[in-house]
Chains A and B, each alone.
Chain A
Amino acid sequence: EAQVTQNPRYLITVTGKKLTVTCSQNMNHEYMSWYRQDPGLGLRQIYYSMNVEVTDKGDVPEGYKVSRKEKRNFPLILESPSPNQTSLYFCASSPWGQESSPLHFGNGTRLTVT
């Protein structure tokens, strides 16, 4: 089954404790992206990657890191989480360069930073 898999689904952590949210897709998509969803703000892009070893900042990159060492994986790293990073996070992927290709989203990771 074609899918984007995020882990974990739920995560509660404390301020300053480094964490990684994993994302993997099995569709051989070039493009991958991370979004955060907050009430009243919609989905805001954190980072995106157009292919292996190619990443770039989205609209809200502060406090986050990403890496793209393999085509299928795109982990999101919070080196020193803070309470304002409490949010619902989504990873998404799509084939690059194909007109009107939809973004395929994972089922989300709900992060709480205390």
Chain B
Amino acid sequence: QQQVKQSPQSLIVQKGGISIINCAYENTAFDYFPWYQQFPGKGPALLIAIRPDVSEKKEGRFTISFNKSAKQFSLHIMDSQPGDSATYFCAASMTASYGKLTFGQGTILTVHP
């Protein structure tokens, strides 16, 4: 069962554009929603995370938008750069089990110069 569904599978954006990746979850007990970034040959690394008590969190060019009623959250990358080209994973977990993340399918982002 795929508890976190991520789309699109791949995304091509021009430099300076906005990249948007969407995720939907099923388990209403999830209360921690991180995004991980993975470069080729490397393991994923935490990029940004949000809890459902806020609707938006921004860190530099990266913003998470969260819609609790729709059980959806998304990652927005403003002014996308070629260095942002990577695979992005959304994830979800319950506070009671911090390390037990359920990941989405991943999105391969390519930013053209």
A residues contacting B by CB (< 8 A) are: 4, 31, 33, 35, 37, 40-45, 48, 50, 58-59, 90, 92, 94, 96-103, 105-108
Contact = CB atoms under 8 A, between A and B. Distances in A.
A90 B43 contact: yes
Contact of A105 (B41, B43, B49, B106): B43
B98 A42 contact: no
Interface in B56-107: 89, 95, 98-106
B46 A103 contact: yes
Given A48-B99, A100-B49, A107 B41 contact: yes
Nearest to A98: B98
B45 to A, nearest CB: 7
A40 B99 contact: no
Interface residues of B, number: 23
B62 to A, nearest CB: 15
Contacts of B44: 43, 90, 103, 105
A20 B34 CA distance: 30
B110 interface: no
Contacts of B36: 103
Given A48-B100, A96-B98, A105-B44, 12 more contacts: A31-B98, A31-B99, A33-B99, A42-B89, A43-B44, A45-B100, A50-B99, A99-B95, A101-B99, A102-B46, A107-B42, A107-B43
